[in-house]
Amino acid sequence: MKYLFTVLMLITFFCQVWGQYPSRVPATPNPITFTQPNGDTIEVRLFGDERQHYYTTLDGYVIVKDANGYFCYGKINRNKKIVASKHIVDKNTEMTPCKRKYLKKISKNSKLKKVIQ
């Protein structure tokens, strides 16, 4: 009888553990405000769930945090991973010609979107 009780308890335990699937929580659809280390505030969107997610600017550019904590526009490295570029995201509407040229280049880059998906 003691053996039967132990077996039933183990079966119940394993059914409960394997019967529960972790639920995914989608990212918020609302823009999120972040403060850059230099004090600028930027609004970004978060896509994905708790397993895989990424940030974009409100106009759709993929952004990544660099080693210093700044959100920078993303680029693809040799290993086909998205890493931070040298161009920092800021709320300044006046873009330098270099940053404008870079954004034009990555907006045509379909590889960046394929890496995300």
9 vs 42: which has the higher pLDDT = 42
Helix (H, G, I), strand (E, B) or coil at 32: strand
User: Is the pTM higher than 0.95?
Assistant: no
Name the pLDDT band for 103 (thresholds 50, 70, 90).
Answer: confident
- Give the pLDDT of residue 11: 72
